[in-house]
Amino acid sequence: MTLAIIGGTGLTQIENIVIQSRETLETPYGAPSAAYQIADWQGQKVIFLARHGAPHRIPPHKVNYRANVWGLKQLGASRIIGVAAVGGVSQDAAPARIVIPDQIIDYTYGREHTYFADDLEHVTHIDFTEPYHPETRAQIITAAAAIGLDAKIGGVYACTQGPRLETAAEIKRLIQDGATVVGMTGMPEAALTRELELPYANLSVVANWGAGLTPGEITMAEIERNLQTGMQNAIRLLEQIVLGAS
């Protein structure tokens, strides 16, 4: 099994992996966000990609999701975990907590979101009832239990367009819609992996409470502080997943 990790805000690189090569690819959809790092982690091969580029420079609505996922397929990834910084919407999604969602609502628009855009003769309507690969999710959940991490299992990832954060009214609507967390990069990434039949699951790290849920503005300082703790836990969790796969 070759595990691929797509790192989001707060996870541009993983310090303790041993990079063996860097692959810069061109795809039929253009260039991926960064070079893919082919690395050894605890004796396992992993592929790491920084979703926003390294250094962080590509905003969520400009990420070339199609190229990123296509490149992972080309490199032989057999499983993908997408790590994402999110806002907490439900009461049990507090800052710094890790959430392993099992559903998605897509509020994005205008993104290149399918590989079936041009070849209309072969258009395929993928089943997306369960947007995340159950076994890959189970692997994350097992690893979280093994390290005693209090992750929230299950929940709805609401994907907004960004790059701005939401209004207080938008967060209220997301609560009514049943959202657990809100992020900007979960889609079309998840759907594209399904189109290419690559098992994919999401690991969300809560950076802040959604807009209007606490008094005052959401600051980058607050986001960065919570992400520091949250991403450390995310790395511990990923390492346990890799160990569990050996």
Binding site for ligand HPA (CB under 6 A): 85-87, 160, 165-166, 182-184, 207-208, 210
Cα angle 155, 239, 38 (rounded to 5 degrees) comes to 105
C-beta of 86 vs 190, nearer to ligand HPA: 86
Distance CA 222, CA 176 (A): 26
Distance CA 23, CA 45 (A): 14
Closest separation between CB of residue 197 and ligand HPA, Å?
28
C-beta of 112 vs 224, nearer to ligand HPA: 224
Closest separation between CB of residue 221 and ligand HPA, Å?
13
Q: Which of 108, 214, 216 is nearest to 157 (CA)?
A: 108
Residue nearest to ligand HPA (CB): 87
Cα angle 235, 236, 237 (rounded to 5 degrees) comes to 90
Q: Which of 114, 140, 117 is nearest to 196 (CA)?
A: 114
C-beta of 90 vs 208, nearer to ligand HPA: 208
Closest separation between CB of residue 227 and ligand HPA, Å?
8
Q: Identify residue 21 by its one-letter amino acid code.
A: S
Closest separation between CB of residue 164 and ligand HPA, Å?
9
C-beta of 139 vs 160, nearer to ligand HPA: 160
Q: Please, are residues 204 and 116 in contact by the beta-carbon 8 Å criterion?
A: no
C-beta of 64 vs 208, nearer to ligand HPA: 208
Closest separation between CB of residue 123 and ligand HPA, Å?
31
